[in-house]
Chain A
């Protein structure tokens, strides 16, 4: 095979057996790789009703066919498993260099089964693969673990690890790689922790085989020109990173504030990308073969640390009513160290603040730590308490839904399918509300980013307050995203590239015969199989919804004032576009057409 290595590792943590297995080529062609192929393998190997934190759940660390190849941004890997947070399929995506290194070592994926008796880590040096004792690493933070595992390892070893969050089975725990990149969402770190697996260290010396080197050379030139000439990928993202969105969403009155009680934040400028660049930025950083380099390294006192992304600035900033950039940088740093998701962590703190303000959480539960909107001094400490499950942090470690539900107030949790929604108010960005509600992993912005047309006007400007046409747009964005994720490229390329560009890369590298339509069709197939997993897992179609606050309470002030989500207008049209029943269930006809039945 080209692009694919054609083999993967299967590691049984219960008996310690490690096998190299051949990739099923037919399935790879049908589901591409990564997110798509991983979900298909989960469907085939794991009962969707499995307890996500039991040994019977599997942890599939997948790459795509373009991961580790010369394709720009082809460094991504995906963790596919059943989510302990949402109970849905989880597919958590990360950049950095780890995924490309796994491909160089000769594997397309690592599948973990069972549960180790003692803490272990997996060491991969090409064909030398061993489970090693990790007792001395258990309890250590992510950066420390990474340093320990690279200290005596071959130069260039890349480490993926969990921190105390994953070890303590926090349902919002992330899997971290290259210290500060995160497969952040859906609690995948807890699945890793439940298996007593601390880390995977990988070093590869091989090279992925490419089908048509000459064509790829041509494409490299052509795609680089597109990325460089595009205002967003050529200048906006390199200069300001993702953080530049803060001021835009705030200007449009769609930046959720104080746990979505408002949608405009007075301290927006203080937590903006412009302020980050002006006062804190040291340098920007790039993942594997990325010409965009949206990553930030920033000052934290006298340390140089990974900087907060837009979603993080929002979660700890506007959503917690906090205009203190230094405190946000610190909270972000501690999320990376304990290994928990910044979006879910910030949103859970925001929900806790509201629960406390309204008298549901009692003073004595705080152990002397302030819990209030706008309090910068306490926020990093709350993150640490969540990671270590200390005091109230124990309840908060399982996300806002379980926290709020425990106090009889689930409506204070700003989640879809128990996953915290990110930084765009669905009442002010209507289509994004639709893609939150219908995302197969719950409240997530990277499963159909309608912010692009509704806010940024890319590829064309849509009316952000209208429900018109959003079903059609939502489906196209969801399908294209599913394919990009499965190929192993970064979604940010899609500001400059279209479905045909991904087909070009796939064909040149793997020898496939795709075009724009078949790339979208593969995405449709992946979206449907994810939905099938969720239905079998007992996720009800009516869970394709938004929190009551967004459906019933109008935005109280600012430019989006008076709006609620028009989800009920958009959903039927979306389901019709998908070829699903009006209840949101894939029809036999649709499944047959996609080769899923």
Chain B
């Protein structure tokens, strides 16, 4: 079971842009992946799962796309 993890902005430093990561279906939560990635919850501004805003307690499923952003903005 795999999900695609996409990292943006400073989260890419020393990590990756895009990677498939193995999960346990209906068990692995976003926060479990954060531990694996070495990203602290408080560093995160946006969690996007399959193009919709989400949160650390979201359980992931096969084929999900998880995108993580630190605090950024523009306009």
Contacts and interface: CB of A to CB of B under 8 A. Distances in A.
B71 A235 contact: yes
Contacts, number: 92
A449 interface: yes
Interface residues of A, number: 41
Given A446-B75, A457-B46, A492-B73, 17 more contacts: A231-B45, A231-B71, A231-B72, A235-B71, A236-B9, A244-B9, A245-B72, A248-B72, A251-B48, A252-B48, A269-B17, A273-B72, A445-B75, A456-B46, A461-B53, A559-B52, A560-B51
Interface in A486-502: 491-492, 495
Given A236-B9, A240-B9, A247-B8, A559 B51 contact: yes
A281 interface: no
Contact of B71 (A230, A253, A274, A464): A230
8 contacts: A232-B45, A236-B9, A236-B73, A239-B9, A245-B74, A247-B69, A252-B53, A310-B74
A274 B74 contact: no
B75 A248 contact: no
A237 interface: yes
A109 interface: no
A451 interface: yes
Interface string A227-259: 000111001110111111101100111000000
Interface string B1-41: 00000101110100001000000000000000000000000
Contacts of B73: 232, 236-237, 242, 244-245, 452, 456, 458, 492, 495
B49 to A, nearest CB: 10
Nearest to B42: A231
Interface of B: 6, 8-10, 12, 17, 45-46, 48, 50-53, 67, 69-75
Interface string A412-447: 000000000000000000000000000000000110
Q: Which of B6, B69, B70, B74 has the most CB of A within 10 A?
A: B74
Contacts of A237: 72-74
Nearest to A254: B51
A251 B53 contact: no
A558 interface: yes
B8 A274 contact: yes
Contacts of A230: 71
Contacts of A269: 17
A456 B45 contact: yes
Contacts of A491: 75
Contacts of B45: 231-232, 236, 456-457
Contacts of A247: 8, 67, 69
